[in-house]
Chains A and B, each alone.
Chain A
């Protein structure tokens, strides 16, 4: 079983739409959680950390359910520039485990 599993998508949405996707993780002792964004042939860049209480950063909302070991990301009012692969990342003891990524394509 993979440590982090994500819906690979792709999600093809029009500009202005809301898109949501999630991931699950296997290590219940995981300590911190992140969403990273990776553009084609580039390195991952931190989008946001994810907290148990849920958190929002502009158009992005992340949720964490430790009991179900489930993390979600919601993007509101999608922009063309949101097109990317979104990586669900879980930290245990300063080692990160990555999901394979969810591909989002926003069309005009």
Chain B
């Protein structure tokens, strides 16, 4: 299957700082990537759809100014959590479609102190 990587795998930061998470499609090109968030014992929730060369589409209730998405190339999308607060602590996962299947990155575990 297709491979999606994410970096970093985990990050601990102080409240008020910004954190950038990278998502890469390693063996295919992805004009669209997806960003999810998963809180403990809950399902994955789609935050936004990242579109190469254009603005991201955010789901209802997700602040676009807080979660900045950039999809500058066909293999890279970045999510920046700006001015992170403890309630932003979560498991962030990106994904992309390849061969009619959605493949997920390994996730980034964010802890905001």
Binding site for B on A (CB under 8 A): 4, 32, 34, 41-46, 49, 87, 91, 94-101
Q: Which residue of A lies closest to B4 (CB)?
A: A43
Q: Secondary structure of the B side of the interface? A: strand
The answer, yes or no, to whether B46 is at the interface (CB within 8 Å) is yes
Known contacts A87-B43, A99-B43, A100-B43: does B109 contact A41 (CB below 8 Å)?
Answer: yes
Chain A residues with CB below 8 A from B41, complex form: 100
A96 touches B102 (CB 8 A): yes
- Residue from A44, A99, A100 having most chain B Cβ neighbours under 10 A: A44
Question: Which residues 68-113 of B have a CB within 8 angstroms of A?
Answer: 91, 93, 95, 97, 100-107, 109
List 7 additional A-B contacts (Cβ < 8 Å) besides A32-B100, A46-B103: A41-B91, A43-B104, A43-B105, A43-B107, A45-B104, A96-B34, A98-B45
Binding site for A on B (CB under 8 A): 1, 32, 34, 41-46, 49, 91, 93, 95, 97, 100-107, 109
B46 touches A95 (CB 8 A): yes
Q: Which residue of B lies closest to A4 (CB)?
A: B43
Chain A residues with CB below 8 A from B1, complex form: 46
Q: Which residue of B lies closest to A44 (CB)?
A: B104
Q: How far is the CA of A95 from the CA of B43 in the complex (A)?
A: 14
What are 19 inter-chain pairs, A to B, with CB distance below 8 A? A34-B101, A42-B106, A44-B44, A44-B93, A46-B102, A46-B103, A87-B43, A87-B44, A91-B102, A95-B34, A96-B34, A96-B44, A96-B102, A97-B46, A98-B43, A100-B41, A100-B42, A100-B43, A101-B43
